[in-house]
A and B are shown apart, each in its own frame.
Chain A
Amino acid sequence: MSPVRSSGALACFGRGLRASLSKPYLAVSLWLIQLLLASVLILPVSNSLHDLLDDSPSASRMVANPDLGWWETLLRTHPDLLGNFPDLLTGLLTPEGVTSSKLSGLRGIGAAAVSLGLLAIVLHAFALGGIFGTLREPHGSLVTFGREGMRRFPAFLAFTLAALAAALLAYRWVWLETGLALNERMRELQSERQALAITLARVLLLAFVLSAIKLVADSVRAIWVARPDLPPVSRFFAGIAGALARPVRLFGVLLSAIVTILTLYAIWIVADPSAGGEARFALVPLILTQQVFVFLRSLIKVGYYAGISEALTRTPSPEYSYVAAPSSAAPVAPPAPDDEPPLENPAGAV
């Protein structure tokens, strides 16, 4: 008799985490992508900091604790280092928000960071193809990850760009435009509490819409991989239908992942290994601790995507599941996807 699996959001997320832990190379691949992208900035940042700090008597003070005044002076006296990058980050939820015109204020490392962000989004589309594809395989590996990522890349990049465009539109219409429209009326409200309540409602609405966009995109990705038997258009709409059919469960998985990641951040902030400098960690242990943190976050991230796949799976698994339906009969090898055959004889092979 086949085990009946719980279809609750927490259970799905839990199973997703287990899947993530059973295939840690997926988190490793995510971690590696981010590390390689971030490492582009190592030389510019390192050279600038060594140039500014090494000869400075402030350096000895800043090993353990950052000198706030030093940083602020640096930003004021070297505006070309970051440009308005800090303002962009902190201005996202201000009433004025961040518009594309403000990107022209980016400079130096700040501009490079945003460019890397765009590159990361593209690479993430590849990584998602690898993750979803590898999760289907009973015995996957990094090779599987790369192969599956490349196979899904065109479609997944399209999903990613579409989701990104939808999110930008949502930001504009749900946050910026409502902010502009409500600006006058907000000031006419009787009390600040009312204004805060409306602002909170706008934040929640924005979060909800962004979450919905993300969940729809992730659902389409999961179904795209799980149902290779369907034509692409059907897979796409089946993905949307999957999100619409199980909204609560999907939101639950997302919420579970967010809570888990926030817990991880809370632990980091309380433990505070970054601050304290040599009093707490020497350089190498500090770097290792930081990378362990990023890896753990990547594990949770992979767990989330596996959880989404779980949430779209019914037990026994019928049409939407990438998991083979339990059967008392002898296990049958899952049929190979007929639309995208593996590259057994790649071009140029002898």
Chain B
Amino acid sequence: MGSAKARILLLALAGALAAPAVPLPAAPLAAPVASYEISCRLDPEKKTVEGTELLTWTNTTSRPAPTLQFHLYLNAFLNTRTTFHREAGGIARGVPIPDSWGSVEVLRMTFADGTDLLPALVSISPDDGNPDDRTVAEVTLPRPVAPGETVRVSLDFRSRLPRVFRRTGWKGDFFMVAQWFPKIGVLQEAGWNCHQFHANSEFFSDFGDYDVSIDVPSRYRGKVGATGKRVEERQGAGDRVLYRFRQESVHDFAWTADPDYVVVKDFFREAGLADVELLLYVQPEHASQAARHFRAVKAALSRMGRVLGPYPYPTLTMVDPPWGASAAGGMEYPTLITCGTHVIAPATLQKPEEVTIHEFGHQFFYGMIASNEFEEPYLDEGFNSYMTDRVLKATYGPDHPVVNVFGYRIALGIDKIYPVDAERRFFDVSTQDIHAQPSWKFRDGKSYGADTYSHTALALATLENLLGVNVMDRALRLYADRWRFRHPTLNDFIRCVNEVAGRDWTWFFDRTFRSSGNVDYAVEKATSTRAKAPKGLFERDGKLVDGPPPALARVRGYDSMALVTRRGETALPVDVLLRFEGGKTYRSSWNGEGRWKRFRVSGGPRLLEAIVDPDEKLALDEDHTNNGKRVVPDPRAASRWTARSVFWMQNFLDTLTVAW
């Protein structure tokens, strides 16, 4: 490289490093559709939040809206007959659901013209018709809201929080207040999109501006974290303190309070990305892990920001729930995420790091891109798992810590929802459901998790391998830019991929998302035998004579064959590599459509092994152990592992018998 060029490059690099952070946009990021002004008061003894809500809502469809529909999420915890309880079967996040009940009551509802709407408010169950479910309510308006018209609805509500077992609730003095206020659904051209609260589903709502005042006892002074930026703190009446938070262009609001919180601040600044104030509300016994949380979230801000565009909000609040309230952890809300760690959390296990990065990733897919988590949960959880893996691998390396116990390696910290790392064979597999379907229609929670998280992440990793990382990043960026603050569907992402790739990749999504199929290619057989001269009658000088002509009689090398089969239901294009003696290789491609394909090489060197998908592009391949076949068996590994197995068995028996 010439010195002039080098100087220019250095200057450019220096300029990039010195570039000021992207200023925050002055204008709202998204046109507000549903904005809220809420004043609420926490009663820690009664575990209730009472509030007044002023909803400003715009009909963005082309049709008048004669009704409004509201989510009353906390009613999911009303009793054991709700849809949530029926679907959960008494278990939430692997823990028995306690007998602690939650509810949200609408005490007053008034239309802009002063009409009392409360008598017209009725519960509906659009998903399953469960008459005992009260998580969705509909109110008929005195007059339809015209297209483009903005109306205001004022209401009073009382929310009773459960002992936390599913994202929201209390434990002692700790409060995680989420899904807590009556919240309007999303009106689309086809009508209201307002689903009930299900065991496996998350949420969907319109963007708006939130201005929330929170009145808490003074023992919570300085220990209240929430969506958005704190704009006010003042002494309230009596022994109370009042906080006010504001945030534009978000679609939900959550807050937390715990007198035990240790609040730690940090700041993210990186050239080309927006500045972000980082707030960590951490438990005292985890305070020593604050730096790990910050490192993780900064890595995510940087690496995800460079692929998906800058995180545009001025703050990010991280919450560490206390012991016994882990059900509140690992959840995302706009500009606020709940993490989770333990007192014993070796750095090599990357546990708080993993959950922090993952929950931050939701700020893009759930927060800004805001796809419908009820109907297409994989667009958030699966896409985010894919990006989480990329950030984890880039930041902490691809390998997970492994404990070697007498030659048997026990992997630590492997989470099967992040399967695209170096040990990506760790993932749950499910072929019980169409991979891409509404969250409440999965057969069970395991199937939901396997399809929504790991299958989607693996499908995207496969797509990345087939497209190349640059094309994939451009497609993701186009998707994120085009659909930021809107509500895209899978089709919208497919269009972005097609646009960037310049080819139609719909087939890929039809096979990997819109089917229940699995991917598994295998080398069934590989042989290599010394080539033999042909035998029989051959025509020579117009006569049939016994034996081949000299040209055919001279044979050299080996005849090799590899039989590759498709064991899975899903067909994807795949490479096949034949490796020969002398370092020679033969690479071929197969469209993967048939059930099998035979590859032959005649007269070449001796075949050593045949490998299907040698570059491991098909991350979706559920069994990589059958992807290759050696012509000459190598018994060394099996013999050693047999010896180790006997040794382990001896130790097992010795340990078993030592006790009695």
Contact = CB atoms under 8 A, between A and B. Distances in A.
Interface of A: 34-35, 37-39, 41-42, 45-46, 49-50, 52-63, 66, 68-74, 76-77, 113, 116-117, 120-121, 124, 160, 163-164, 167, 184, 186-196, 210, 213-214, 217, 268-269, 272, 274-275, 277-278, 283, 286-287, 290, 293-294, 297-298, 301
B423 interface: yes
Contacts of A77: 622-623, 625
Interface of B: 98, 171-172, 283-285, 322-324, 342-344, 402, 404-409, 411, 423-426, 429, 526, 609, 611, 622-630, 633-647, 649-654, 656-660
A259 to B, nearest CB: 14
Contact of A124 (B409, B609, B657): B657
A59 B630 CA distance: 9
12 contacts: A37-B653, A38-B653, A46-B639, A50-B642, A52-B638, A56-B628, A57-B628, A73-B625, A193-B285, A194-B323, A272-B404, A277-B640
Most A CB contacts (10 A, CB to CB) among B344, B609, B635, B657 go to B657
Contacts of A63: 634, 636-637, 640
B630 A54 contact: yes
A20 to B, nearest CB: 14
Given A77-B622, A116-B649, A274-B407, A54 B638 contact: yes
A211 to B, nearest CB: 9
A60 B407 CA distance: 16
A164 B659 CA distance: 8
Most A CB contacts (10 A, CB to CB) among B322, B406, B424, B625 go to B625
B636 A52 contact: no
A127 to B, nearest CB: 8
Contact of B609 (A37, A57, A192): A57
A268 B408 CA distance: 13
Nearest to A30: B654
B659 A72 contact: no
Nearest to A277: B640
Given A69-B426, A192-B285, A283-B643, A38 B650 contact: yes
B70 to A, nearest CB: 32
Nearest to B644: A274
Contact of B323 (A59, A191, A277): A191
Contacts of B647: 274, 290, 293-294
Given A59-B637, A66-B407, A193-B343, A38 B649 contact: yes
Nearest to B623: A77
A193 B287 CA distance: 13
A41 B285 contact: no
Nearest to A39: B646
B50 to A, nearest CB: 26
Given A53-B637, A69-B423, 5 more contacts: A56-B630, A58-B625, A58-B637, A191-B284, A269-B406
Contacts of B630: 54-57, 59
A120 B653 contact: yes
Nearest to A274: B407
Contacts of A277: 636-637, 640
A58 B624 CA distance: 10
A59 B632 CA distance: 11
A343 to B, nearest CB: 27
Contact of B623 (A39, A54, A73, A121): A73
A198 B585 CA distance: 61
A76 B428 CA distance: 9
Contacts of A52: 625, 638
Contacts of B342: 192
Contacts of B654: 34, 294, 297-298, 301
**A-B pairs, 4 with minimum CB distance:** A274-B407, A57-B628, A69-B425, A54-B633
B660 A160 contact: yes
B582 to A, nearest CB: 17
B649 to A, nearest CB: 4
B425 A72 contact: yes
B169 to A, nearest CB: 12
Contacts of B425: 69-70, 72-73, 76
Contacts of A73: 425, 623-625
Given A193-B343, A274-B647, A49 B641 contact: yes
Contact of B652 (A71, A113, A192, A290): A113
A307 to B, nearest CB: 14
Nearest to B621: A73
Contacts of B344: 196
Contacts of A297: 651, 654
A59 B625 contact: no
A211 B657 CA distance: 13
Given A41-B645, A45-B645, A62 B637 contact: yes
A164 B653 contact: no
Contacts of B642: 42, 45-46, 49-50
